[in-house]
Structure 1
Amino acid sequence: MTEAIDWDDAYSNFAYIPDGYGYPAKWVVEAQKFRDEMQQKTLLKSDISYGARERNRFDLFMPWGDLKGLVVFVHGGYWMEDFDKSNWSHLARGPHAHGFAVAIPSYRLCPQVRISDITVEIGQAISHAAAEVPGPIHLTGHSAGGHLVARMVTATSPLPQAVRQRIRKTVAISPITDLRPLMKTEMNDTLHLDAIEARLESPALLEPQEGTDLTAWVGELERPEFRRQNALLANIWSGFDCRIDAVEEPERHHANIIEGLADAAHPLTHRLLCL
């Protein structure tokens, strides 16, 4: 008989990372440092509204000199953790150094809304940022944010076609691509996922937009379930008319996998920007 899977343990990240629970405080410090730098240079446009709700806001970091395009980073936290855009500002550093404007949105959280509602909000945030910044669009996000950016390039994306056509590259970092296992976790007391929503919101169960170019990027030291979810998307989408690949970055876990975005020379930044 197959041993039952402990799905709560499968999605428990920080418990398996040395000093894992200390990372959020580090992110706040690094984010504020970068925000201060950008404010001093008058390159930060903060709290731009993309909707009527308090969390429907994004920060936009504008580069010096020639503008190369727009990067949008969508944060994670299982669609329910109390993170917002200001926790992740430092992750704009890598793309910003290459001349890209970087938008980082907040969004409403479960259980106030459902995951399908968050999908719509991220579509609105990207559309508003695209109206502020001309040129190609590059999308990236981490964990639940990885799910959301992958969802943006599916055939049922909430993005207007004109915005979809500007998306050059998507990098989904440690993405959750099949939501169905989450129905078996204690988190679902907050997420309220049912079988219909889980299927309709799972990128791995949807067709990619024709011509999509996506990299699924995960850490070699991450929980097996995240490595499985990463490979799943690349495996299934390889049968469609899109460019898809998967990367397992050595010596990276779920908390430090995003640090590459803060480094202009890191392979993660280069892959995102198609350098």
Structure 2
Amino acid sequence: MARSDEPDYVFRDRHPERHDVYALYDLESERTRREVQCLLDLPYGTHPRMTFDLFPGGRHAPLAIFFHGGYWQSLDKRRFSFVAKSLLAKGFSVALPNYPLAPELRLEQITEAATASIPAIIDVVSEHTGPPSSWLTTGHSAGGHHAVWAGLHARPHPTVSAIPFAGTAPISGIFDVRPLVGTSLNRALGLTIQRAARLSPLDCDLPPLRYRILVGAGETSGFLDQAAGFAGRLRSAGRDAESRVLAGLNHYTILKDLLLPGSIITGVLKEMADMEEKPCREAKR
């Protein structure tokens, strides 16, 4: 494949503000872990990165599972603890899994690990809050891929199937993996077109669920096309799919929306879980 997709997916140098954005996320995440109840680095497998952080909500609170991005080869859940704060305030329990990374493991193995995190998370949440009233998946970039892929593949597990699945809300997600094969990102991923196609939610027969797709207006055409193409594919199959383009936000800044009192992303997740307004959760004492 030609390397014409490189600028759509390899754009760190175009966004020097990412350093400040990541510094903000780190600061807000450290504050979140300090101020609210959290259970850190709970194992769900034998690999050192098969752990998750849990921010338990109230009794039988719906569960939001957030997967971090990094093109399946970088980043860590601890940078994104801040995601939990606004969701806790709206009555959710929140879990953030880590997962093994490329090039140590193939993408097939990475997606299997992410899928395995879900029943383990639901087991632990149930111990602390009682079974959640429902669960949903979300995540950013490659984590958006996990949100769709792991969410759907975990559904048949007995622990998971007993809990209503409210749907999936990927943020700046990757739904067609094939464009990455011709980019420098594939040095770590080592994908062929055939394997990338098999790992692409765009080409799956996706079940009738709620799909809420979010993307920043300032993202590259590659990510805007990913969101529009996936939403269109779902709607043409008769699925309950909606897409939203968030004004003024790019691939690095889109999660800053979760730091705002009127967060659009939080509102979408709240609507998915069919929740009524709940009081803010008390800070950890």
Whether TM-score is above 0.5 comes out as yes
Structure 2 CA distance for aligned equivalents of residues 45 and 200 of structure 1: 35
Distance in 1 between residues matched to 2:244 and 2:91, nearest whole Å: 25
Q: Which residue of 2 aligns with 1:268?
A: 265
Partner of 1:191: 189
Query: Percent of aligned pairs with the same residue?
Result: 30
Q: CA deviation at 1:87?
A: 0.9
Structure 1 segments, 4+ long, off by >4 Å, are none
- Structure 2 counterparts to residues 254-265 of structure 1, below 5 A: 254-263=251-260, 265=262
Structure 1, residues 155-198: CA drift from partner, whole Å, max 9, x if none?
Answer: xx244354256210311000111011111011111101112221
**Alignment partner for residue 132 of structure 1, among 124, 135, 139?**
124
Alignment partner of 1:6: what SS? helix
The residue that corresponds to 1:52 in the other structure is 46
How big is the shift at 1:221? 0.6
How far does residue 11 in structure 1 lie from its aligned partner after superposition? 0.7
1:86 to 78, 83, 87: 78
Counterpart position of 1:71 = 64
Contact kept, 8 Å, 1:67 with 1:100, in 2: the verdict is: no
* Aligned partner letter, 1:120: E
Structure 1 residues not aligned, in runs of 5+? none
Give the deviation of 1:236 after TM superposition.
0.8
SS class of match (2:267) = helix
Q: Which residue in the other structure is 2:21 paired with? A: 23
Distance 2:50 2:156 in 1: 18
RMSD: 1.8
Pair 1:88–1:128, CA change in 2 (3 A): same
Q: Secondary structure at the match of 2:250?
A: coil
Q: Is the Cα–Cα contact under 8 Å of residues 213 and 244 in structure 1 kept in the other structure?
A: yes
Paired residue for 2:156?
160
Structure 2 distance, partners of 1:5, 1:231, is 22
Q: What's the CA shift string for 1:63-98, capped at 9, x where partnerless?
A: 2x44421110000000001x1111110011111111
- Alignment of 1:100 onto 2:92: yes
Residues 127 and 51 (structure 1 numbering): CA distance in 2 closer, same or farther, change over 3 Å? Answer: same
Task: Give the C-alpha shift of residue 233 in structure 1.
Answer: 0.5
TM-score, with structure 1 as normaliser = 0.90
Instruction: Give the total of aligned pairs.
Output: 263
Per-residue deviation, residues 92-128 of structure 1 (Å, max 9, x unmatched): 1111111211000111100011111111111111111
Matched, 1:223 2:220: yes
**Would the aligned equivalents of 1:49 and 1:56 in 2 still touch at CA under 8 Å?**
yes
The runs of 5 or more residues in structure 2 that have no matched partner are 126-130, 276-285
